[in-house]
Amino acid sequence: MSRWLRALAIPVAVVTAWELWAQIFGIPYETLSHPSAIVVSGWTALWDGTILTATLQTFSGALLGLFIGVMIGVVLGIPLGLFPAADAVVGPSLDALRPIPAVALLPLALLIFGFGVRMEALIVAIGCLWPVLLVTITAVRNIDARLLEIGRLLELPGSVRILRIVLPATGGRIFVGIRIAAGISLALAITVEIALNPNGLGYAMVLASQGLDPALLWAELLWVGIIGWAFNRLLLGAERRWLPATIGAVHA
């Protein structure tokens, strides 16, 4: 059996069995729904733009937060990685802050910004900044000391040193951290929407849940899965295209 057939075997079997069960034995509408209804519901939602609008909202919150989180993570991480003394002094305080789950700050973000994209971006930024910070510190700390010496010997100004030597020398490791953070950004954005924010895909699922519309809910869940998978693939592809030399480090 070809690889594709094997990959699809289980999902196809589950979907087919489910559909047959529903058609033959019938399922009460409020509970589970069935594949054909889900497809119809999803298709409609796609066409009338509701899902796409929601996706856009989710992504705007996620990407904004990701950007902020990555910026802070890299900007803080580089000096902490270059100067172990600084890391020793600042590190323990950071370690104390890190266990606070980003979602714990949801009500606070709500107080500050009210509903909307800024509140979502704040939570996403906090969630994304930790992995990026840690990866940056480790990557910068592991730069070959000789490369840094070259920067000092040539008496390059600090900013040039960072742009031309430190960042390229970290290889793709920082990018791997960004890829991980990107996954977190999407998940956190949806989490915020499910908990509080009346925007985006998470909120759409809450509406479907409260509106007792399981078909739409499953369709949206499937859509979220597809989006997450596609987003991850996109980033992997970008990583491979632009940083081919670091493929070995990617899975380290």
Report how far residue 224's alpha carbon sits from residue 41's, in angstroms, rounded to the nearest whole number. Answer: 15
Q: Among 166, 161, 185, which Cα is nearest to 74's?
A: 166
How many CB atoms neighbour CB 3 within 10 A?
Answer: 7
- The answer to whether 168 contacts other proteins (rule: CB under 8 A) is no
Scan residues 78-117 and list those touching other proteins (CB under 8 A). Answer: 85, 88-93, 96-97, 99-108, 110-112
H, E, C per residue of 10-36: HHHHHHHHHHHHHHHHCCCCCCCCCHH
Taking CB under 8 A as the rule, which mask of x and - marks residues 120-159 in contact with other proteins?
A: ----------------------------------------
Report how far residue 149's alpha carbon sits from residue 130's, in angstroms, rounded to the nearest whole number. Answer: 29
- The answer to whether 247 contacts other proteins (rule: CB under 8 A) is no
Report how far residue 113's alpha carbon sits from residue 190's, in angstroms, rounded to the nearest whole number. Answer: 18
CA 179-184-185 angle, to 5 degrees, is 90
- The answer to whether 238 contacts other proteins (rule: CB under 8 A) is no
As measured in angstroms, the least distance from the Cβ of 251 to other proteins is 11
As measured in angstroms, the least distance from the Cβ of 104 to other proteins is 4
Scan residues 1-30 and list those touching other proteins (CB under 8 A). Answer: 3, 6-11
Q: What are 1's two structure tokens?
A: 């059996």
Taking CB under 8 A as the rule, which mask of x and - marks residues 39-78 in contact with other proteins?
A: ----------------------------------------
DSSP 139: H
Interface contacts to other proteins, rule CB under 8 A: 3, 6-11, 31-32, 85, 88-93, 96-97, 99-108, 110-112, 183, 186-188, 190-191, 194-196, 202, 205-206, 208-209, 212, 214, 217-218, 221, 224-225, 228-229, 231-232
